[in-house]
Structure 1
């Protein structure tokens, strides 16, 4: 795949459009969970903001299982400013990680094919051997979750533990280690999967859906009034 001047300009345009936009929207789960069924599976995740306690067990597990170097992270849990007054102070926690978009901008702008969507799982991943470190995917990602791995010298991000836990028949490390079961992982193409059971019974939203990225990371809102 060559990186022609026309392709570069198109990619640059995509960056201008996608950065700096922060829209969220509630979703109709039955219409969105099955809107794309390419491949044998289509893995997604639900993050329940009402269950997360900010313990960061998920980030520690991710780093250990996937050998993520210090100074970079595939997954972050951010804490809001305190809500309410002592002793009734509360915090809200949010997950920042790859959204595994069905319509992933990072894949479209990559000039070498290093950024790609795995047809068998729907997971957006990176081929380290093809990555040339151009940074186009980092700039194009509207969620700003990609980074350069200082050891592999390649773009890196969450891949749902595809090469580690999933390859061993396990759940992603973050899901396994969450003490409050705030994370649910599964196949969106399977109507009987755990993730679809959550989507069919909870109010959920996805970040920046107005960009048309079709993210597969769903979130149960902490406060429905904010959506």
Structure 2
């Protein structure tokens, strides 16, 4: 009997020494995942739906003040605090992709998962947002258009992961390192985001995750995040 191959463990590495805070990752994520633009008034109420936000702070004293940026998305926890509190099992861990997923047709909008997420990486959809003609033709057919009353979150663009894995299987080969890229990784002009199989010691993401500058957000909570940050020290360092 052939030995069963262990599932890939997808992870993201963010090099804060490269991030310039341009927010191209946020724009790409919104377009790829059909995230609606809720408008200025709803954002003022704290109802923005971005799956990724860029934390910014200023360091130093004037006139030597410098910006520091830190993109934050769902950390894809291996021990996710959002999963055990969901009463309808809408927040689940994928065995194939080894990431935390949201099953939208199960979600009843209790928001327990958001309350239990220490990274504030989940958003609640308060309204139905419909794009008028012809803008609705720009929607990504590979991603569900969410309805009112459900929680939304980053999935590492799971539709791209599935597509890449299926393509490799059809060609009778393994997924190559760097072949699959979420929208944020593909759009980053500075190469600050690197995505790959962190269980493979030869992958670029795995090698970067072992850098001495590495850290993870709220690592002391034991959530086992799959996102690793590299502390910056340059002009834009975090």
Instruction: Confirm or deny: 8 A CA contact 2:58 2:65 kept in the other structure.
Output: no
Distance 1:212 1:197 in 2: 22
Q: Which stretches in structure 2 are left out of the alignment for 5+ residues?
A: 38-47, 129-146, 165-179
Instruction: Report the equivalent of 1:119.
Output: 95
Corresponding residue of 1:155: 151
Higher helix fraction: Structure 1 or Structure 2? 1
Q: CA 1:167–1:201 in 2, change beyond 3 Å: closer, same or farther?
A: same
1:48 maps to 2:11: no
Q: Which runs of 5+ in 1 are unaligned?
A: 1-37
- 5 Å matches for 1:74-85? 74-85=51-62
Question: Whose Rg is larger?
Answer: 2
User: Equivalent of 1:57, from 5, 24, 34?
Assistant: 24
Distance 2:209 2:105 in 1: 37
Matched, 1:186 2:196: yes
Cα deviation, 1:94-124, whole Å, max 9, x if unaligned, reads 1121000000010111111100010011110
Question: Secondary structure, in 3 states, of the residue corresponding to 2:228?
Answer: strand
Report if aligned partners of 1:46, 1:185 keep a CA contact under 8 Å in 2: yes
Q: CA deviation at 1:52?
A: 0.2
Normalised to the residue count of structure 1, the TM-score between the two structures is 0.77
Q: How many residues end up aligned between the 2 structures?
A: 187
1:39 and 1:122 in contact (8 A); partners too: no
Q: Give, in whole Å, the separation in 2 of the partners of 1:204 and 1:213.
A: 16
Tell me, yes or no, if the aligned pair for 1:39 and 1:120 is still in contact at 8 Å: no
Conserved? CA contact 1:107–1:137, under 8 Å: yes
Taking structure 2 as the reference length, what is the TM-score of the superposition?
0.73
RMSD: 2.1
Once structures 1 and 2 are overlaid, which stretch shifts more, 92-101 or 215-224? 215-224
Q: How does 1:130-209 map to 2 (within 5 A)?
A: 130-149=106-125, 150-151=127-128, 152=147, 153-163=149-159, 165-169=160-164, 170-209=180-219
